[in-house]
């Protein structure tokens, strides 16, 4: 009896592992097909000046409309794309798609001239040195001013490739592309390392913004991050601002920009265009 139960458990265990592996393999081949079948698209979340309440840019966020599963979020497939190497193809698609879109907005809408579109660059993508030439040649091809493009890269991705990171980032920065650290505070960089890297902006991770209204200590931590960034000559963006209380605290601490559901959820391209046709202001 006991032996049998043990065997059954083993069966279930193996079955589950097999299911998982099959699921992962299917997801990968689905993504491969999805790229070819245009199932991927970008949503754009506005980034606001906390002072003027004007939109200063958008973050491009990847979406996958799977034919059977419906909408699949990046948290469900970016890691797999990194592990399988599909991230290179995917990443290049994001670069050209986002650049093409912002170029169109600039051409159509006068108030879009100074907007920057941010794209997320994953760690593995950043290990490919051709990334820089890729970005720069896309800009050239589209005749898109570099200041209209911002790249977001996590501190972990930078630190893991510290050697080449300095060179890659300074090449981008000296061409006029804006460089932002993403999810700051979650990685393993020490604050003193930051100054080695050519950066324009620091984005504070959502977890710090969430905690900001919970205790005075948390406010102090965010204050320290903002001061550090300013001392290094960086602008600060707060990620995941959801309440007016958070917004007020951040503005009072001198945080320049905010992004989050309080202002706007990620928008479809149609929504962005409708917005730009209006007056590009929250109020
Ligand atoms: P991220 O770069 O930190 O992007 C911000 C995430 O926070 C987005 O999730 C956004 O929808 C979400 N968010 C914005 N405001 C709020 C808020 O007020 N509250 C809450 N709870 N969430 C908010 P999303 O779109 O699911 O993307 C998740 C992550 O996937 C991104 O985090 C980024 O690391 C990655 N990702 C997205 N698009 C791309 C891409 O094109 N390439 C790469 N390599 N990674 C991407
Ligand atoms: Mg980001
Ligand atoms: Mg982020
Ligand atoms: Mg984040």
Asked if residue 138 has its Cβ within 6 Å of ligand 1, the reply is no
Using the atom order of ligand 1, give the atom closest to the CA of residue 121.
Answer: 44
ipTM of the complex, rounded to two decimals: 0.98
Q: Using CA atoms, how far apart are residues 68 and 62, in angstroms rounded to an integer?
A: 18
Question: Could you tell me the pLDDT band of residue 283, with boundaries at 50, 70 and 90?
Answer: very low
Choice between 24 and 121, residue whose per-residue pLDDT is larger: 121
Ligand 3 center from residue 258 Cα (angstroms): 12
* Residues surrounding ion ligand 4 at CB below 5 Å: 183
pLDDT value of residue 48:
97
Q: Tens digit of pLDDT for each residue in 158-215?
A: 988 888 999 999 999 999 999 999 999 987 766 778 888 999 999 999 999 999 999 9
> Hey, what long-range contacts does 270-276 have (CB within 8 A, 24 or more apart)?
272/44, 272/58, 272/105, 273/105, 273/108, 273/109, 275/46, 275/55, 276/105, 276/108, 276/109, 276/111, 276/112
Residue 25 pLDDT > 80, yes or no?
yes
Query: From residue 232, how far is each of 37, 48, 90, 191, 199 by CA, in Å?
Result: 44, 22, 33, 11, 9
């Amino acid at each position: 009896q006991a032996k049998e139960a043990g065997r059954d458990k083993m069966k279930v265990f193996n079955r589950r592992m097999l299911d998982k592996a099959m699921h992962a393999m299917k997801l990968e081949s689905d993504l491969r097909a999805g790229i070819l079948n245009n199932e991927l698209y970008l949503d754009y979340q506005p980034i606001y000046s906390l002072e003027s309440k004007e939109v200063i840019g958008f973050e491009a966020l990847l979406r996958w409309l799977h034919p059977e599963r419906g909408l699949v979020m990046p948290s469900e497939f970016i890691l797999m794309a990194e592990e399988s190497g599909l991230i290179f193809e995917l990443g290049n698609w994001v670069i050209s798609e986002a650049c093409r879109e912002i170029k169109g907005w600039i051409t159509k809408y006068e108030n879009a001239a100074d907007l920057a579109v941010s794209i997320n660059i994953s760690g593995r993508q950043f290990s490919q040195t051709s990334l820089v030439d890729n970005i720069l040649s896309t800009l050239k091809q589209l005749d898109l001013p570099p200041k209209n493009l911002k790249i977001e890269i996590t501190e972990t991705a930078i630190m893991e490739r510290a050697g080449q990171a300095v060179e890659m980032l300074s090449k981008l920065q000296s061409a006029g592309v804006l460089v932002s650290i993403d999810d700051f505070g979650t990685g393993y960089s020490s604050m003193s390392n930051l100054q080695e890297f050519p950066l324009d902006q620091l984005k504070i991770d959502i977890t710090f913004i969430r905690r900001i209204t919970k205790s005075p200590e948390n406010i102090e931590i965010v204050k320290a991050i903002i001061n550090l960034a300013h001392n290094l000559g960086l602008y600060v963006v707060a990620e995941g601002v959801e309440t007016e209380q958070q917004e007020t605290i951040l503005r009072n601490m001198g945080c320049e920009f905010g992004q989050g559901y309080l202002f706007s959820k990620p928008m479809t391209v149609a929504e962005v265009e409708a917005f730009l046709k209006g007056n590009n202001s929250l109020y």
